[in-house]
Amino acid sequence: MAEFGVSTPSVGVAGAKPAASTGKALSVVALRKTYGDAVAVDEASMEIAAGEFVTFLGASGSGKTTTLMMIAGFCEPDSGTITVGGRDVTRLAPQKRNLGFVFQQYLLFPHMTVGENVAFPLQLRGVPKEEIRRRVGQTLEMAGLSGFAGRRPRELSGGQQQRVALCRALVYRPPVILMDEPLGALDKKLRDQLQVEIKTIQQELGLTVIYVTHDQEEALVLSDRIAVMRNGRIEQFDTPRELFERPKTAFVADFLGAANFLPGRVEQQSDAHTLVRLDHSGGLLKTRRHDLAAGVAVTVAVQPGRLRVCPPDDGFCTGTVETATYVGSVVRAGVRIDSRDTSRDTSRDTSRDTGRDTGRDTGRDTGRGAPLLRLEVPAGRGPVTGERVGICADPDDVNLFPGEQGR
Amino acid sequence: MIGLRSTLAGRIALTAFATVILLFLALPIVVIVITSFSKSAFASFPPDSFSLGWYQALFADGSKWPGALSLSAVIASLSTVFSLILGVTAATALTRSELPLRSAVYALVLGPLIIPHIVTALGLFLLFEPASMLGSPLAIALGHTVMASPIAVMILIATLRGIDERLEDAAASMGAGRLTIARRITLPLAAPGMVAAAIFSFITSFDDFYVSQFLSSVGTLTLPVQIYNSLMFDIDPSVTAVSALLIAFAILALVLVGLVRWLGSGRQNALLSVETATALGAPGKETP
Amino acid sequence: MAATLAGVPARPRRLLASRRTRIGILYALPAVAYLLALFVYPIFSTLLLSVQDLDGSLTLHWYADALTGVNLSVLFTTLRIAAETALFSLVIGFLLANAISRLRPLPAALAMLIVVVPHFISALVRTYGWIIMLGDKGLVNQLLAGLGVPGAPYQLLYNEIGVVIGTTAMMLPYTVLLLYGVMRGVDRRLLAAAASMGAGRLVIFRRVYLPLVAPGLATAGLLSFILALGYYITPALMGGPNQTMIASLINQQVMKQNQWNGAAAEGVILLLLTFAGLLLVKLVSSLGEAKKRSAS
C-alpha cells in the first residue's frame, strides 16, 4: 500500500510537488488551529515517510490530539495543508480520506459481532464477500483473535476489544493509520504487551502509523520518530535517540529524560569542546562543542543515567549522597552539591519545573539551597547515603542551552 | 448499605401503609378486569356470576365500539407516523448539530407537555373549526401529534444521547458516508428507542381525550370520547369490557417496550428492576 | 456576511460550522414549523379571542365575566381541589417513595411497576375503576361495612371526596417517580454521619434529610398542583355540580354554550396560573441548585 497515489500524480492542488517519488506517506505544512483566543496548534509542519512509526508526544493541551484530529478530518484547521500520499486532503470529510483510526475508547459497534466490525470497512469498499471473509479471518488471526469472530464486543476484555479495533483499522490497508492513545484505558501490564504487538504488526505489514500518547516510555518503545509537542508547537521531531541525547530545548531534555539542570557560564570555547563554569560549585564542566561565546549564561542538562560517581577530585563537582534507592538494576541517588557560596544559592533552584507532570519519581530539591542532582548508577557498586562523592559526565552526554532555560 | 436503622414499628407501619396505597393503585384496574366478566348489568363488585356477555355485546350488530376502536387505531397510527417523523428530525437537530436558539427550540418542542391539555385542545378547536375540519380523522390525528410528538422527541433525544457520537466518527474514519452511517450504525442502535417512541406516541394518541373531544363530531367519536359519553350519559355495561381491553392493550404495550429496551441494552440489566420500571414511567427522563 | 470580512484563513472553519448549523436548522424545521402552526399559533389566537368582543373590538369583559359570580367560584373550587390533590399526592407519594427506596431490589421493582403501569392506562378507564370501587355497593364501602365502621356506607362519589381521591390517584405516579429520584440522590452516608455525631432520628430527619429532599418535595407538590389545575376527566366523572373545575367550564362553554370568547378567557387564566406555578418550580429548583453548590 506504499504505492498509494502513485498512479495519479496530478491529484491535488499541490501538483507542483512530485507526489509519490519521495515515498512520503503524509505531510503536514504550517497547520494551525485556534479556539477563540487559544491557539491549539501553532504552525505544525512535518513529513512522514511510508512505513514509519511516528508518535506525537506531549502533555494534555499540547496540541497532539488536535493535530491528529485535523489529519483525520474530525476537526478543520484554520490554515495549513495536509497531504496524504500526494493528495491534498485538508478540506476533505473524514470518510473521503481513506485513513485508519484507532480510538482510545475502542468504539467497536456494539450491535455487530467482532467479525462484522472488522468486515464493515471492507463492505464499504465493495470488496467481494469471499475476500472479506478471507481478509477478516487473516487479520483476526494475526491479532490472536481467531475464535472471536462471532462474539459481541462487550463480551471481550478491554485488551481484546482494542485488538479488534486495531484489526478494523488495518484490514482495509489504509496508507496511514492514526491512533489516539489506544492503550490509555488499559492497565500497565496489558499496555506493555500490546505495545509489542502493535510494533510487531506495524513492522511486519510495513504500516505507516501516527500515534498519540502522553507516555514517554510508550513513545520510546514504539516510535521511529517522536514529535515532542508543547503549547501547540512541535518542540522537536526526531528519533528517540536524538531526542534523548541531543535535545534541542531544555523542555525536551526534561520531558524525555527528566534531566538535571545546572546554571553556569561558558568559560572557554575550543575546537572540540566547550568549558562551562558552574554557578553553584564553581567547578568546570567539559561538554562537546556548542556554538556559544565565552561569558554567555547557559543551562547545563544531563540525564540522570548519564552521570557517574567518581573520586571527589575527578568530578566536575562534589557532593554528599542524601538518598540512595535501590530499584532493581539501578540505584537512584540524590546528591547534594557542595556550594562555593551558600549565600546566593537559595534563590536559584536548579531543576526548573519544565515538566512537573511528566512522571518523575526522584525527590525534588526542596529549597535547601544547594542543588540536588539525580543519578541513576548501576546497582553493583552504588553509592551509600552520607558518602562524599565526585560527579562525572562524558562531555558528549552534556547538553547546553543558552540562558536560564528550562522554565 | 449504609443508612439508618429504623425502628421495627416504624418499618412495619411504613410498609403497611405502602402496601395499602399500592393495593389501592392496583385495585381499580383489577376490579374492572373482574367486573368485565360479570354477568349482571350493574357494575357491582364482586360479581355474582361470570360470563363473556359484555365482550360479545361489544361486537354485536349495531354496537358503537368496533367503529370507535378502529377510528382510534387509525388516528393513533397516523399520529404515530407523524410523531416519529417530527421526533427523529427534532431529536437529531437537538443532539447532533449546532442549533441556534437551541433552548428555545427545546422549550417549544416540550411545551405541549407542560401547557394544560385543555388549553391546547381549545386552541386546536379554534384552529380547525373555521377550517370546517371538525370531525376529520386527519385533524384529530394532527391534533394528537401535538401531544404525542414531544414524548417521541424526549425518548429519541435520550436514545441519541445514549449512542456514542464517536461511533459515528469511527465509521466515518473507515470511509462510511453520512447515509451509510445512519443506516448501518445509528439506526440499528436507535431501534429500541424508536420502537419505544412509536409505542408511547401510539398510546398517547389512543388515550387522548381532550383533543378528541374538542375535534370530534357525532360521526367520529374516538374510543376515549365514546367511553366518556358512556360513563357520563348512558350507562352501558359493555364499557367495562372495553376498559378491560384497553388495560390489556396498555400492559401489552408496556411489556413490549420493556422487552425491547431490555434486548436493546444487551440484557445487561435485570428485566425486572427499579431502573427499568422508572425508565418506563419517565421515558427520556422527564424533567418538568 | 461577516465571514468575508474575517479574512481568508478563517473562512473554511466558518463554512464547516455553518454546515453543522444548516443541518441543525434543516432537521429542526419540521417540528418547529409544526408546533408553531398547531400549538403556538392556536394559543395566540386563543389569547386574541379572549380580548375580543363579538364584533371584533378589544375588550376585557370576558375576563371580568370569568372573575365574577359563578365563574369565580369555579376558579376557587379549581384552586382548592388542586391544592388538596397536591397535598395528598405529596404526602402519600413521599411515604410511598420512601418505602420503595428501602425495599430490596425485586420488591422495589414490583412496587414501582404498580405505580408506573397505571400511568399508561387511560385515565378514563382508571377513573371508571374508582367509580366502581367507591360506589355505595363498591368494594370500599363493603369493606367498611364489613369492619363495622359506623355510618357506612359513606357517600364517596359525586362529591369532593371522590374527586380528590380520584385525582390524587392520577397524580401519584408523577410524585412517586419524582420523589423516588430525589431520594435515591440523597447520599445515605450523610445520614449515617449525622447519626455518628449523636443526632437522634427525628433530628436527622428534620435537619439533614428534609432539607436535602425539600426542593424535590416542592417541585413534586407544585407539579401535581399544576397538573390538577387543568384536569378534567376525573372531576367531571367523579364530582358533583359543586366540583366543577375550570377545565369543565371551558368544555361546557365551547360545547354547550358556544361561548368561545369566554372559554378563551378561562383558558388564558388557566395558562397564567400554570405559568405562575412553573415559575415557582424554576425558582425552587434554582434555589436548590444554589444550596447544593454552596454545600459542595
Contact C9 A78 (CB under 8 A): yes
- Res A364: pLDDT: 42
Which chain C residue shows the shortest CA-CA distance from A76?
C13
Buried/exposed B176-194: b ≥16 CB within 10 Å, e otherwise: beeebbeebbbeebbebbb
CA pair distance C199, B108, nearest whole angstrom: 48
Mean pLDDT of chain A: 82
C129-143 residue pLDDT tens:
999 889 888 888 888
ipTM value, please give it.
0.89
Confidence of residue C146 (pLDDT cuts 50, 70, 90): confident
Q: How far is CA A126 from CA A115, A168, A353, B182, in A?
A: 16, 16, 54, 18
Asked if B33 reaches chain C (Cβ–Cβ under 8 Å), the answer is no
Provide mean pLDDT across the span C20-44.
Answer: 93
Nearest partner of A165 among A187, A182, A184, judged by Cα: A182
pLDDT at A212: 95
Contacts of residue A45, Cβ cutoff 8 Å, sequence gap at least 6:
A28, A29, A30, A31, A80, A234
Whether residue A319 contacts residue A340, with contact meaning beta carbons closer than 8 Å, is answered with: no
Q: Give, as one character, the DSSP assignment of residue C52.
A: B
Q: How far is A111 from chain B (nearest CA, A)?
A: 7
Report which residue type is found at B167: L
How do residues C225-276 score in pLDDT, each as one tens digit? 999 999 999 999 999 888 899 999 999 999 888 889 999 999 999 999 999 9
The CA distance from A69 to A212, in Å, is: 10
Grid cell at residue A307: 552521570
Q: Is B120 within 8 Å of C39 when comparing Cβ atoms?
A: yes
Assign B287 a pLDDT band (cuts: 50, 70, 90): very low
Q: What is the DSSP letter of C96?
A: H
Distance CA C75, CA A194 (A): 72
Average pLDDT, chain B: 86
**Lowest mean per-residue pLDDT among A77-81, B116-120, B213-217, C132-136:** C132-136
Determine whether A198 is exposed, middle or buried from the number of CB atoms within 10 Å of its CB (0-12, 13-18, 19+): buried
Rounded Cα distance between B202 and B250, Å, is 10
Mean pLDDT by 10 residues, chain A (407 residues): 36 34 79 89 92 93 91 90 91 90 91 94 94 94 91 92 93 93 90 92 93 92 94 92 87 83 84 84 82 83 85 84 84 83 43 41 47 83 81 86 64
pLDDT at position B149 over 70: yes
Interchain CB contact of A107 with B (< 8 Å): yes
Sign of the dihedral defined by the CA atoms of residues A33, A34, A40, A44, in that order: positive
pLDDT in tens, C50-87: 999 888 888 899 999 889 888 999 999 999 999 999 99
Look at A78 and C16 and tell me if their CB atoms are within 8 Å: no
> How much is the pTM?
0.81
CA distance C30 to C40: 14
Per-residue model confidence (pLDDT) at position A333? 87
Query: Alpha-carbon torsion C247, C248, C251, C253, what sign?
Result: negative
Please tell me the distance in Å from C7's CA to the nearest CA on chain B: 23
Considering the domain delimited by C70-295, tell me its CATH architecture.
Answer: Orthogonal Bundle (1.10)
- Split at pLDDT 50, 70, 90, the class of B43 is low
| Percent of chain B whose pLDDT exceeds 70 | 89
Prior bond to A77 cis, omega within 30? no
Look at C12 and A91 and tell me if their CB atoms are within 8 Å: yes
Q: Give span(s): CATH 1.10.3720.10, chain B.
A: 61-280
Residues of chain C contacting residue A91, judged by C-beta atoms under 8 Å apart:
12
DSSP 8-state code for residue C207: I
| Domain residue ranges of chain C, discontinuous segments joined by + | 70-295
Cell of B53: 356477555
What pLDDT shows up at residue A327? 81
Q: Do B122 and C254 touch (CB under 8 A)?
A: yes
In whole angstroms, what is the distance from residue C168 CA to residue C173 CA? 9
Q: What is the 3-state secondary structure (H, E, C) of A188-222?
A: HHHHHHHHHHHHHHHHHHCCCEEEEECCHHHHHHH
* Average pLDDT of the residues of chain C: 86
Between A270-284, C90-104, C175-189, the lowest mean confidence (pLDDT) is in A270-284
Beta partners for residue A337, in sequence order: A319
- Using only C-alpha atoms, chain C has a radius of gyration, in whole angstroms, of 25
pLDDT at A277: 86
What residues of C are in the A interface, CB distance below 8 Å? 9-10, 12-13, 16
Instruction: Just give the CATH number of B61-280.
Output: 1.10.3720.10
